[in-house]
Amino acid sequence: MSQKHQIKIKSPAEVEACAEAGRLLAGIVKDLICSLKSGMTTADVDALCEGLIAERNVIPAFKGYRGYPSCACVSINQEVVHGIPGPKVIRDGDIVSVDIGIIHNEFFSDTAVTVGVGSLSKELNDLLQVTELALQVGITQARVDNHLSDISNAIQNFVEAKGYSVVRDFVGHGIGRNLHEEPEIPNFGPPHQGPVLEEGMVLAIEPMVNLGSWQTKILDDGWTVETLDGKPSAHFEHTIAVTKEGPRILTSC
């Protein structure tokens, strides 16, 4: 499936359309995070998300995608990604990953954040901090003339030096008129491999970082991904554009 020559280079107007979708999504996530409270179910989080999406007259990108039933992926503690919202209750001391995608004027944006609810242990606090920094470290490599895997390698080096592991089974991706476009962007691997980055590439970079080992499993619901060892996991994602001036984060307010 990996056809690196098929990476779509966006025109300046297309990058701006992605940026507009990104800005709207960042606002949705900001509002959602402010309302997260212990006692809510993950279905409550999705309902909030659905309302915030509707307020902005944009389209949820995940609902119906390969049969996915909800607007948001809500993954708690040992859940890595793709948690299906349901009756699970969020408790004080939990970490909650929320991943949302929208479509605005035919362009997609995709972002994820992991937040703590109530007071977090130092162990979990550090995990969130390292994962968010890993995303920043990866984004910094998204510059013209770098190779794609410079992003991957920088993330892996950073995460492993801190004593954590990076998930191997799920990767970042190009994005634009589709949620998932070429190229795949692993969060691990050797540097200086893969396509050379060019102005006009729009990428979703999304490290998933585990406190324990990198292995994961998919639950019987066919979606929810958990760590194999049951230890916590965090996930941060931004949609970014490669520009001559350096990486531009599109999913920020």
Q: Which residues bind ligand MF3 (CB under 6 A)?
A: 62, 65-66, 68, 73, 82, 99, 101, 110, 173, 204, 206, 237
Encoded one letter per residue, x for contact with Co ion by CB under 5 A and - for no contact, window 81-120 reads: ------------------x----------x-x--------
- Shortest separation between residue 101's beta carbon and Co ion, angstroms: 6
User: How far apart (Å, rounded) are the C-alpha atoms in residues 79 and 196?
Assistant: 33
Question: Counting contacts by CB under 5 A, is residue 182 touching Co ion?
Answer: no
Placement of tokens 């969020």 in the chain: 90
What angle in degrees, to the nearest 10, is found between the helix axes of 12-35 and 42-55? 130
User: How far apart (Å, rounded) are the C-alpha atoms in residues 42 and 203?
Assistant: 28
222 phi, psi to nearest 5 deg: 85, -5
User: How far apart (Å, rounded) are the C-alpha atoms in residues 213 and 122?
Assistant: 19
- Shortest separation between residue 221's beta carbon and Co ion, angstroms: 18
Among 28, 204, 205, 250, binds Co ion (CB under 5 A): 204
- Return the residues of window 222-251 that contact Co ion according to CB under 5 A: 237
Tokens for 83?
A: 């948690």
- Shortest separation between residue 148's beta carbon and ligand MF3, angstroms: 16
**Positions that interact with Co ion (CB under 5 A):** 99, 110, 112, 204, 237
